Every structure is written in structure tokens, then in C-alpha cells.
Amino acid sequence: MYRTTFYSLRRLMLCLSFLFVTTALPEATAHLKRAAATAACFSDDFADGNASNWSPLTPSRWEVSYDAGSLRYFLNTSTYDSPDGIRMGELSLLKNRTWGDFTFSCVAKSADAPQGNSDADLCVAFGYQDADSYYYINFNTIAGFTQLHRIHNGARVTLATHHQRTFVDGLYHALRLERSGNQIRAFFDGTQILSAYDSFFSAGQIGIGSYNDSGYFDAVSITEPNCAPSELFTDISAALAGVAPSAVAWGDYDNDGNLDILLTGETGSGPTTKVYRSNGGSGSFTDIGAALPDVRNGAVAWGDYDNDGDLDILLTGNAAPSSQAGKLTAAVFKNDRGKFVDIYAALIGVHFSAAAWGDYDNDGDLDILLAGFSTVGEVTKIYRNDGGKFTELQAALDGVSHADVAWGDYDHDGDLDFLLTGSGGAYEISKIFSQRSRQIYRYSRAIARRARRRHGVGRL
């Protein structure tokens, strides 16, 4: 807020303005939805309960707190002031990133305006170089006090002024800031309110805060012309074995609430199969030394086939190095207090394969669908689970390798159908098989084309 001697006049203006304030802002919601439809380089809705992406000037003044049914980033006090009457009194910066050309958006609510503070404000900082050099926009209750400023070495230059009021109520409003080259534009609830040209600062950090008030921020999103996947996801250096060709799956095998990893594939020195236990969700994983066959060209799937409350393993693949003749595998391993034990399920061994659990007969236990290249050629098999014993279902299915399979009730009749893709030798297929009864599957739709046999099909 900016201090002025006309306090009583501003209080009168505030009271009059409340006569025209509605109880909802559909425009803010609409503009937020449109922003969410654009892929963001960065976004934060604070739904995980923390603000780990942010670096506040004064940590005790910031918290993630519920408001209006959602978790928000809350600047929780107004018992502070600008240090020099020029700079923002409090801000929180996005960590480890600078932004040149960008579009910033968020929703924000003043916590002071509904309490009768007639010069309440919230701010967005950008081009941040250091505590004495940055731009900021002050969205303010007072007409003429919503302004774009440039701060540098103890001096403030006002680059643009909006002569209408902004935060005048206790509702959430959509803020947006765009910078392209030397053009800077600011929007409030979808309407442009400020525009200026300035290139004094180039790329810098982005932050949120206030001159000396409190408020809530949420649904922060930043896009730029060249958003890249590497800006969205970061390698956590988990020290897993490198494998290719490969198969992986997440599953909480030890029921500690953290996802563990099952992977298999060729390492370059031979095939491998590993289970990595998550160490408390910290980003580190430990190889548990599971007694599983090392395979390549395989498939993996977690599933509780015996309904004892912990995840077991379905594994297929070739247990021989790529330079040797094949030893084809398809097996179920029971989770016995964290140790995996082969139950000798008598499944046909396959590689260039796919496998999936699914309760096709609705009897409450998981059955098996697998496909791949076996010692007798391409096969696709379904195995019924009867109390932990697996029996092959006699179903006339296309045999495929280089396969993928997926269960799903596409026709909403209450039982599982399945999708099958792969190479049938001279054909490459994609087919849906619909369950007519719990014993028979029929071909429902196919996309097939004549193709040369893929390199390696038929080789062990």
C-alpha cells in the first residue's frame, strides 16, 4: 500500500466501490482455464502442500495454507513495510531460473482489501537481478497506484500507470504479465491495463509478493517461446542400471507408501532384472538383489495374483545374452515378505513380448495375458487363475511378437476385452478382441497391413 494523507477519502471510495462488487468472478476462472490449456514451462498449484520451488525473502511470512477450498501460497502478514519507500517489502522468487521473453499468469486475492484496507496491494516482480535491480507491477486498490516500476540502485522509474482500481474485494482475480523483447504488458482479469517498452534489464528471476500487505497466490504458470521438456522434468540421478531393449514398471512391493521399480533389459554386458526399493520417496533407490532371472526383450508387470495384499511379479523374456541361443522365460514370482519366489506357473516362455494382469472372468483374482515369440513361433495366450494355479484358456488368438497387450472393457458390458498389437510374421496387426463369454474371445476390429518381417523376429 502507498501511504497518503487522504486516508478518509480513500475509505469513502472503498465503501462506495463495494456497492458494485459481485460475489463471483467468472472471468478470472475463464482466463485461468485458457492459460491452463497452454503447455507451461513452469506451473505450481501448491496442491502438494509445499512451496519448494520458491525462495522467500522472509520465510516466516510465507506458508501454504487452505483458502476457498484449495491450498494456496499465502503471504500471511502485513506487519512489514517497504525498506525504502521504493522497493517491494516482501517477495518470494522462483528458484534457479531466469526468464527473458515469457508469459506469467496466476490467480491472487488480497487478504487486506476485505478488511477495510483502502490501499491494499499485491505485486509481481520480474527481470530480477538482485535486491536493488528489478521490475515490478503493483496491483493496487487506489486508482492511479497500479503501476509498472523499474528499480535500480536506489531509484525508481515508473514506466506505466493504470488509472483504475484493481484489488477492491476479497475475491480471486486473474493476473497476467507478458514480456516480448522490450515490450511489457500487464492484464487484470483478462483486460490489458498496462503497457510499456523497456529493455534496461534482460532475463531475470520472477517473483510474487507485496509492497506491504498480505494475500494469496495460486495456479502460477509461466510459458516462454521455447519451452523444452528438460525444463519440466529433471534427471534425479537415481543410479539405475542402463538397459535396452527394456521393460519397466512402478509398484509399491513393500507397502511402505513409496513406489518401487521393476526393470529388465540388456545392459551391454548381458541381460539383467532388478527390483529397486524407494528410500522414503527421497529420490534414491536401492537394488534389493532380488532372485529373479536376468532377461532381455521381455516384459514386466506388478499384480497381486494371490490376493494376500502385496504385489507379485509377472516376468517374460530371453534369459541368454544376445550372442547366445535363447532360454525363453515366462514366470510368476510370489512376494513372500519382500522375497520373490518362482511359483512355477507353467507359462509358455516368450521374448519380444508383452504381458498384463487382468481379471477377465470376474472371479476376483488376476489372470494373465501374454504374447511374444516362443520356441514354436508367435503366440498369444490367456491363463486363468484358479486359486493361484494358472490354466491356459483355449482361445483362438493371433500369435504375435514385438507385441503389446492391454486389458480394457471397451464396450461397457462388465467384462474385460483386450487390445493386441504386434507382428504376426508376414503381417503387423492391431486388433481388439471382445469377450463374448468368459471362455471365448472374438475379433472385433483390426488394422492390418502386409509388411516385411521385422529384423530379429524368429531369432532366439
More confident residue, 450 or 175: 175
Q: What is the C-alpha to C-alpha distance for residues 431 and 433, in angstroms, rounded to an integer? A: 6
pLDDT band at residue 8, thresholds of 50, 70 and 90?
A: very low
| Residue 35 predicted with pLDDT over 70 | no
pLDDT for residue 26 = 38
| Residue 81 predicted with pLDDT over 50 | yes
CB 277 within 8 A of CB 286: yes
Terminal CA-CA length for the chain = 75
Query: DSSP alpha helices (H): ranges in 332-449?
Result: none
Across 20-34, 151-165, 326-340, 405-419, least confident range: 20-34
Mean of the per-residue pLDDT values of the chain: 86
Kind of pairing between the strands at 285-287 and 173-180: unpaired
Q: Angle 253-257-260 (CA atoms, 0-180°, nearest 5)?
A: 40
Q: What Cα–Cα distance (Å) separates residue 186 from each residue in 161, 194, 267?
A: 11, 5, 53
315 Cβ contact partners less than 8 Å away, ≥ 6 residues apart = 264, 273, 292, 293, 295, 298, 299, 300, 329, 330, 331, 332, 333, 355
β partners of residue 334: 341
**Grid coordinates in use for 31?**
482466463
CB 189 within 8 A of CB 24: no
Within a 13 Å sphere around the CA of 107, how many CA atoms are in the beta-carbon half? 25
| Bond prior to 321 in cis (omega within 30° of 0) | no
pLDDT for residue 119 = 87
Question: What torsion do the CA atoms of 40, 32, 134, 184 make, to the nearest 10 degrees?
Answer: 90
Q: In what order do the strands lie in the sheet with 351-358?
A: 351-358, 367-374, 377-386, 389-393
Across 25-34, 254-263, 284-293, 326-335, least confident range: 25-34
pLDDT for residue 236 = 81
pLDDT band at residue 16, thresholds of 50, 70 and 90?
A: very low
- Assign 339 to helix, strand or coil: strand
Q: What is the C-alpha to C-alpha distance for residues 174 and 26, in angstroms, rounded to an integer? A: 10
Distance from chain centroid for Cα 168: 35
101 Cβ contact partners less than 8 Å away, ≥ 6 residues apart = 179, 180, 181, 224, 225
pLDDT for residue 425 = 78
Distance from chain centroid for Cα 120: 35
CB 315 within 8 A of CB 333: yes
87-133 tens-digit pLDDT: 999 999 999 889 999 999 999 999 998 888 888 999 999 999 999 99
| Residue 382 predicted with pLDDT over 60 | yes
DSSP structure string for 282-334 = SS-EEE--------EEEEEEEE-TT-SSS-EEEEEEE-S-TTS---EEEEEEE
pLDDT for residue 7 = 33
**Grid coordinates in use for 358?**
487382468
pLDDT band at residue 324, thresholds of 50, 70 and 90?
A: low
DSSP structure string for 200-255 = SS-SBEEEEEESS--EEEEEEEEE-TT--HHHH-------PPP-SSEEEEEE-TT-
pLDDT for residue 4 = 37
Q: What is the C-alpha to C-alpha distance for residues 68 and 72, in angstroms, rounded to an integer? A: 9
Would you say the pTM of this structure is higher than 0.75?
no
| Residue 31 predicted with pLDDT over 60 | no
